[in-house]
Structure 1
């Protein structure tokens, strides 16, 4: 039952009660004055019960809508005040583990405490801070691979598929395993019969085709190019237990070196990982690389040497797969190799910031409202302030917390509890939410939903500046009730255009997998991800406070509040009636 329907029911009950009371009172009063009226005005007096009913309806309609009352305390000027601090130069871009992130965490702690929220983290030196470890890995020049008497250089003949920790920080001798295209779907498996646990694998980029050039693997609801990307192959290799995967491109050495030069600056950036990455997420299109495995792209020449063949031999293998329509044994095998990809590795401690608002009669059930407060930090002496990503979500979280705290102080607090979480390390791989969902302060079984807010302060390239909209992602993937509740809250209160373009199957940007709600969803907790998409300043130093549309930010934060109000005050916990995490 949505909040809108519940409210209508309450008003109808109140109306019926008031009508009875007014009619009864009216008749009693009439009995006392009829004798006098008969003397003064012998004309017949006609009582209009419909007028009494109308008065009763008017009285009932004045009942206070507390959701509307407290949502109104979310104001543009307060959002601006918070964001001017959070996205200021003094916080140095809030990069995970850096001093600016610590300053931002301290600011959030003070705000939660001032609102009267509880610090729920047991055993912490500060009950508002959930500390957890990360490893920062920074590449060092001089890496190489030696194979068949040839030496191939780092950032020239091969490079990492994104910044990541290296499993080859000391010179390592390996006997790789050739895994064809490195794919698996249904009965087709390039890993069948192969033991790759702790080993290094070599795979061909792309996917198998028949002799007429048609793909052997059907999409089956996935993007048509599902196996074109090395990301999917890395996830699968990690799930199979491989230590690394070398992805052979068909780019000649000169062309490959040109591409490597383009990516060199970003490939020298630090990478972050959890010390214990846990299992890879299989069968998703999550954008980020799986932690705990090295992933490398190679030139065609180097890839052929790693596989132990030449170009004609590889072409014959690909044709044989196409003719058979399934994996076939290769006529070649990789030789031994020596691999060295040096990095410095630095352990660090970072922290999620948590504030807890205890409910009343259903306090053991908890709604999580989340946003990430970290950003990209300082790059080449330029501060990336991240006003929209995700300063906007962070300050929306503070204002929603303020509204609920005020409601509780004034005797109208929610029935269920609310846990407000400002996540860290989202930009580096959703590590804050991954750590929280693995180490929750409230049992996940008691967590009814996560409402996640990430980039809600701007208008993206796909909407007119006049549009008042928000993108809704994931609302119907696990709970049809959650989807309906959010839509009803919008119809009743905020009247935004709800855009579901990122919620469709095979959505090419994979937005559903790119923010902290996903770590709740993969554990079967219903989620809504509120966002407004990418804009010209996304992940640039120009994402500043002066470009935030605070009127729209206010409306979007109010929608989250109204949805949260219904979720925490309804009689029944929302159902989980779907299974599409």
Structure 2
């Protein structure tokens, strides 16, 4: 028998005393594999249609989760038992194709035919000087200040235009850039049609209440996203060769001469002014987080939050993205942990702090459910003592040859004691391989699930995760590929950790 560390021994004594006659190690052993399996198969079933946020399948999943919480005896987060009080309702806003107006020297261009523009914020500017850079070699715009002007350049490949546009914006401080390919008029319709499809997939919270900004602004991921604040105030897109020729008062064939340097600068029209208006259009859609609670005693107004997102990416035509691993697995673990702790409370377990069980929607759309929960101050930030977030359990990645492991992210960050507690409890049960190789603040995964919304507000969090695999975000992410015993073991560790955190002094 391995010797227990002093901290492990103290935790074991703590668990025994707080449980009174409840053996929590035994309770964690008895987490139901059958319940987890049943829940995964239900959430990843055909009738759930991939659980896309705001759609029919997501609503069915929310109803299912609520019933599991209520049937287990948990109260709503409002500490009631009426059905509506378990749902935290809010709206997501689906981006529509924006309304854009562009006039050049008083002549109005036709959006999506003559030009197309990408942007984030609404904008209205008049009488802006348009600077033509030709092929825009670096020497033409370096050390130039175009902060109050717009830019137009030529390229032999429109798909390379955005990268060049960003270079020009960075160097010259301009916020409006157009690019034209006079050699291939077929590229622009392809770009426009692709972008229109993308607009129909994007969702966000109410832009008036939650203005767009860098979602990682309080994480160390700044170094990856340091340009986001500047980017959201910029506008760039393709413009047709016919419109460009009209602007410069050239024949379309003469534009091609610029690509080989055969057109003199003096042949271009020099005084070009534009009026530009860009306005975002949104269509709102209701959705809901599902939240249940087990009230504490002495410190009942402090909270340990256990979470998992239950949404996935829905369906494309007749193809359903079942999302068994992502994240029916984590949601099933969340529900079974809730059942087990509530059962222990019914048998006499005392919890000092309250425990919240939150099934988030909108994670796949940009952590929208957790962002709403945290930023709407549903519970005061200072009252949330920790978040344990579960996402994608029961599979293994290419770095492991067994599912008897779990990645933990965040345990070393805002509260290093989380790692000590986790390591010590794991020695008692379930003795998993705890993999901290991703547990660095600059790892992109640290901001890739709902714990990021808590970390942003300096709330300590652990992200439990089994890694990526070839079925990620594919229709092949199905229940029969899951290792339910592995989900049970991680659930056992989370259960013990939640109770320990709820009862810490």
Change in Cα spacing, 1:74 to 1:133, as seen in structure 2 (3 Å) is same
Give the distance between the partners of 1:251 and 1:92, measured in 2 at CA: 44
The correspondence of residues 265-344 of structure 1 with structure 2, limited to 5 A, is 267=198, 269-275=200-206, 276-278=209-211, 280-281=213-214, 282=217, 283=222, 285=224, 293=232, 298=237, 335-338=273-276
Which SS does the other structure have where 1:565 is aligned?
Answer: helix
Aligned length: 449
Render the CA deviation track for 1:544-572: whole Å, top value 9, x for unaligned.
Answer: 1111111111112112112112111222x
**Structure 1 residue 474 corresponds to structure 2 residue 410:** yes
For the pair shown, the structure with the greater C-alpha radius of gyration is: 1
CA RMSD of aligned residues (A): 4.9
Instruction: Work out whether residues 94 and 104 of structure 1, in 8 Å CA contact, stay in contact via their aligned partners in 2.
Output: yes
CA distance in 2, matches of 1:441, 1:569: 22
Question: 2: distance between equivalents of 1:537 and 1:156?
Answer: 41
Q: Deviations over 1:15-64 (max 9, x none)?
A: xxxxxxxxxxxxxxxxxxxxxxxxxxxxxxxxxxxxxxxxxxxxxxxx97
Q: Residues 92 and 442 of structure 1: is their aligned pair in 2 closer, same or farther, counting only changes over 3 Å? A: same
Q: CA deviation at 1:269?
A: 3.2
2:411 aligned counterpart, secondary structure: coil
| Cα distance in 2, alignment partners of residues 177 and 554 from structure 1 | 62
Q: Measure how far apart 1:176 and its partner are.
A: 8.7
Could you tell me which runs of 5 or more consecutive residues in structure 2 were left unpaired when the two chains were aligned: 132-142, 154-162, 249-254, 259-269
Distance 2:65 2:296 in 1: 22
Which residue in the other structure is 2:372 paired with?
A: 435
Per the alignment, residue 527 of structure 1 pairs with 461
Contact 1:479–1:526 (Cα < 8 Å) also in 2: yes
The aligned counterpart of 1:383 is 320
| SS, match of residue 75 in structure 2 | coil
| 1:370 aligned counterpart, secondary structure | strand
Q: Which residue of 2 aligns with 1:491?
A: 427
Give the Å deviation of 1:288.
13
Cα deviation, residue 286, structure 1: 6.3
CA deviation profile, 1:498-520 (whole Å, cap 9, x unmatched)? 2223223543xx11111111111
Residues 246-275 of structure 1: CA deviation (Å, up to 9, x unaligned): 697999967965983895585253321212
The equivalent of 1:356 in structure 2 is 293
Select between 152-161 and 97-106 the one with higher mean Cα deviation.
Answer: 152-161
Aligned mates of 1:531, 1:230 — CA distance in 2: 38
State whether residues 422 and 497 of structure 2, in contact with CA within 8 Å, keep that contact through their aligned partners in structure 1: yes
C-alpha separation in 2, matches of 1:485 and 1:155? 61
Partner residue in 1 for 2:10:
6
Relative contact order, higher structure (CA 8 A, sep 6+): 2
For residues 97-136 of structure 1, the aligned pairs below 5 Å read 97-121=54-78, 126-136=84-94
2:351 is matched with 414
Q: CA deviation at 1:475?
A: 1.4
- Tell me if the contact between 2:11 and 2:424 (Cα under 8 Å) persists in the aligned partners: no
Counting only pairs closer than 5 Å after superposition, residues 88-103 of structure 1 correspond to structure 2 as 88-103=45-60
1:518 partnered with 2:475: no
- Cα distance in 1 for partners of 2:86, 2:77 equals 6
Shift of 1:177: 10
Q: Distance in 1 between matches of 2:129 and 2:404?
A: 54
CA shift, 1:396, in A, is 0.6
Change in CA separation of 1:106 and 1:125 when aligned onto 2, cut-off 3 Å: closer
The yes-or-no answer on 1:83 pairing with 2:40 is yes
- Please give the per-residue CA displacement for 1:155-194, whole angstroms capped at 9, x wherever unaligned: 9975758xxx7848xx98684999xxxxxxxxxxx9x997
Partner residue of 1:29? Answer: none
Q: Give the 3-state SS of the residue equivalent to 1:525 in structure 2.
A: coil
Q: Is this contact kept in 1: 2:109–2:115, CA < 8 A? A: no
Residue equivalent to 1:212: none
Instruction: Give the alignment's TM-score, normalised by structure 2.
Output: 0.73
Listed as ranges, the gaps of 5+ residues in structure 1 are 15-62, 179-189, 205-227, 314-331, 572-581
Describe the superposition over 1:453-495 as per-residue Cα deviations: whole angstroms up to 9, x where unpaired: 111121123322x252111111111111112112222222122
Q: Does the CA-based 8 Å contact 2:94-2:201 persist in structure 1?
A: yes
Partners of 1:156 and 1:257 within 8 A in 2: no
Q: Tell me if the contact between 1:156 and 1:260 (Cα under 8 Å) persists in the aligned partners.
A: no
- 1-side partners of 2:189 and 2:483: how far apart? 41
CA 1:342–1:134: 2 relative to 1, 3 Å: closer
